[in-house]
C-alpha cells in the first residue's frame, strides 16, 4: 500500500492510498475514508489504448519519470462483467513522486463508459 497525492477533475486534490485487493484491479482509498474507487491498469485491458494526444502533457507532468495509466471503474457492483471504465479521463500514476493526476482525451475517440466484458488481461 502506498500513499499518493491525487488530483481528480471536479473533485480536486486529496491524499489517498493505492492497493491491489484483486489481481489487475486496484483500489484508491481517500485517507479520510470518505470514499474509495476502483481502478484498472488500462493497457492491460485495452492493449491498443492510444493516448498519443496527451502524451506530451503527461511527459511534461512526469518529467519523463516512469508512469502507469489507470482508468476508473464504475457500474461495478462486484461483477466485472457489468463494469465500465472511463477511457476518456485516464489517471496517470507517477510512482516516484507519489502523485496521481487525471488527464482528458479531447478527441472523443474513447467513451466515458467502455464495457469491460469480453476484455481479458494480458
For residue 48, the SS3 value is: coil
Q: Give the gyration radius of the chain's Cα atoms.
A: 14
Interface residues for another protein in 76-105 (CB under 8 A)?
Answer: 76-79, 83, 86, 88-89, 102-104
Q: Which of 15, 31, 55, 75 binds another protein (CB under 8 A)?
A: 75
- Extract the C-alpha cell encoding 7: 488530483
Least distance in angstroms from the C-beta of 47 to another protein = 22
In whole angstroms, the minimum distance from the beta carbon of 66 to another protein comes to 20
Among 5, 8, 43, 97, binds another protein (CB under 8 A): 8
58 binds another protein (CB under 8 A): no
Q: Which of 2, 65, 109, 113 binds another protein (CB under 8 A)?
A: 113
Residue of 21, 48, 63, 122 interacting with another protein (CB under 8 A): 21
Place of cell 466484458: 117
Give the long-range contacts of residues 114-118, CB within 8 A, separation 24 or more.
114/46, 114/84, 114/85, 114/86, 114/87, 115/83, 115/84, 116/40, 116/45, 116/73, 116/80, 116/81, 116/83, 116/84, 116/85, 117/80, 117/81, 117/82, 117/83
By the criterion CB under 8 A, which residues form the site for another protein? 8-11, 21-22, 25, 27, 35-38, 57, 60-61, 72-79, 83, 86, 88-89, 102-104, 106, 112-113
Amino acid at each position: 500500500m502506498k500513499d499518493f497525492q491525487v488530483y481528480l477533475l471536479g473533485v480536486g486534490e486529496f491524499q489517498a492510498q493505492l492497493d491491489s485487493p484483486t489481481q489487475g484491479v486496484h483500489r484508491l482509498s481517500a485517507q479520510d475514508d470518505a470514499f474509495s474507487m476502483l481502478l484498472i491498469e488500462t493497457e492491460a485491458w485495452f492493449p491498443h489504448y492510444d493516448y498519443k494526444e496527451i502524451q506530451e502533457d503527461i511527459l511534461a507532468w512526469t518529467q519523463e519519470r516512469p508512469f502507469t495509466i489507470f482508468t476508473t471503474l464504475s457500474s461495478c457492483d462486484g461483477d466485472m462483467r457489468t463494469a465500465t471504465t472511463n477511457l476518456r479521463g485516464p489517471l496517470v500514476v507517477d510512482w516516484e513522486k507519489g502523485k496521481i493526476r487525471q488527464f482528458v482525451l479531447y478527441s472523443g475517440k474513447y467513451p466515458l463508459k467502455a464495457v469491460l466484458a469480453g476484455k481479458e488481461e494480458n
